[in-house]
Structure 1
């Protein structure tokens, strides 16, 4: 079993204004929230790069900010990643904070075309069998008849499943794209009250589109003191223009706070309000 991590209570208190409310303090979002609380979080280099190249696993977070990420996972009902992250990293998508075993988040994989073929040896299933994580829910854009029976059985055996998201549109590359309101509605229907969106770049950039800012409740970014160089996978939303056609900022955070964790700096803020 992987090493258990610890995160100081004093550090956790710094992040509290940016986290989903606990059930005991959920007055503003009582009983039936219209959608899950959404936290957008990722680690980046000084040149806004997530990895050295597409498909290349790149470690950016130091020990302190890594423990912070697992603490954040303990405070959310779900972790959401795009299928490219699963294919590149084979992530466990669990929480390793000591004492949080009973608060494992549900992994959610956005995979419209079913590019991922689940295998018993995938880390996400290994930790599930060790009672150290949950099996994923896979958001698909195809009918049940197009899903491989072996993959369906493997997911269901571990407590996961495919979820059909019926409204999909075609992107510029010809692949299906889900609209975020439909994704969040699917999670809400499963009783998931909060979701931590971790990547990859396409997923992150889509939430940074101005049309989606109202859906994001919190942004938490780990900034590592390194430059990865050109050719990497970059966080940079599409160009925005004003009414006169002039370039304009795509997004800006407000209510910002900065917190050092080891050699990394963590930036917290809001996209709206």
Structure 2
């Protein structure tokens, strides 16, 4: 069984202004889930050494912080590439935690074939996590019955979400508005968007900045080198074709956790 983690109360207090409102607060009634964008990156803005290569960046302190954040959100969201590369448990390992977040897997084209041996199901059977909700653009009649049954057995399910077809690749893809609407329909009031690169970069598109309530980024003191999976959204330009910054954080604070530094902020509208 994975080691239980602890996160000091004084450190948790530093993050409190960045977290979703409590269920009983006046801000708890919202038209969409509270969205926290959070990830760990190297000094060269890389999430991993290469696509599909699992790369550990967070030290013990910032890792515990991430698991603490999971206790404060109703759901954690990752793309299917992260599931295929990392086989993540997608649970919270803070000692004494009374809440487990619901894993959300973005899998528009149904690339993931769930297996009983996947960590996310192992922790579910042990009572240390929840089964995932898989958001897909594939019609229910075309879903593999074995996968549907496995998810249902553990308390998870497929959720059909409206898609558009990306002309360059022919693949289906979601709008973030439709993703959040699907989570809202499941009474998931908050979500941590954790990765991977395509998911993060798509959310950082200027069209979706108004959907992001909080940004919490762990910066590890390491360079991974060229060829990694980089956090870098598409370039934007003005009407004359001159590029300008895609986004900038405001209300910024920096918090050291061990050798890592955690950057918190909000996107300027």
What's the TM-score, normalizing by structure 2?
Answer: 0.98
**RMSD value, Cα:** 0.9
Matches of 2:182 and 2:128 in 1, distance apart? 25
Task: Determine helix, strand or coil for the equivalent of 2:141.
Answer: helix
Q: Tell me the alpha carbon deviations over residues 161-188 of structure 1, each in whole angstroms, 9 at most, x when there is no partner.
A: 0000023332532211100000000000
Name stretches of at least 5 consecutive residues in structure 1 with no aligned partner: none
The answer on whether the counterparts of 2:108 and 2:163 sit within 8 Å (CA) in structure 1 is no
Distance in 2 (CA, whole Å) between partners of 1:269 and 1:78 is 20
Alignment length (residue pairs): 269
Q: Distance in 2 between matches of 1:171 and 1:198?
A: 27
Alignment of 1:234-245 (within 5 A): 234-245=230-241
1:125-146, CA deviations, whole angstroms, 9 ceiling, x for partnerless residues? 0000000000000001011111
Given candidates 66, 74, 77, the residue that maps to 2:63 is 66
Matches within 5 A, 1:88-103: 88-100=85-97, 102-103=98-99
Q: Following superposition of structure 1 onto structure 2, how do residues 143-182 of structure 1 map, counting pairs within 5 Å? A: 143-170=139-166, 172-182=168-178
Q: Given the alignment, which residue of 107, 111, 117 partners 2:113? A: 117
Deviation at 1:247, TM superposition (A): 0.7
8 A Cα contact 1:171 1:177, kept in partner? no
Unaligned runs of 5+ in 2: none
> SS of the counterpart of 1:28?
helix
Partner of 2:17: 17
Give the aligned partner of residue 27 of structure 2. Answer: 28
Alignment of 1:215-226 (within 5 A): 215-226=211-222
Query: Does the 8 A contact of 2:110 with 2:136 survive in 1?
Result: yes
User: In the alignment, is the contact (CA less than 8 A) between 2:22 and 2:28 conserved in 1?
Assistant: no
SS at match of 2:27: coil
CA distance in 1, matches of 2:169, 2:255: 38
Residue number among 22, 42, 58 corresponding to 1:45 in the alignment: 42
| C-alpha distance in structure 2 between counterparts of 1:41 and 1:79, whole Å | 10
How far, CA to CA, are the matches of 2:4 and 2:216 in structure 1?
A: 22
Give me the TM-score of the superposition, normalised by structure 1: 0.97
Deviation at 1:19, TM superposition (A): 0.5
Residue by residue, what CA displacement relative to the aligned partner does 1:94-133 show, whole Å, maximum 9, x if unpaired? 0000111x31000000001110000000000000000000
Q: Does 1:187 align with 2:186?
A: no
What secondary structure sits across from 1:87 in the alignment?
Answer: helix
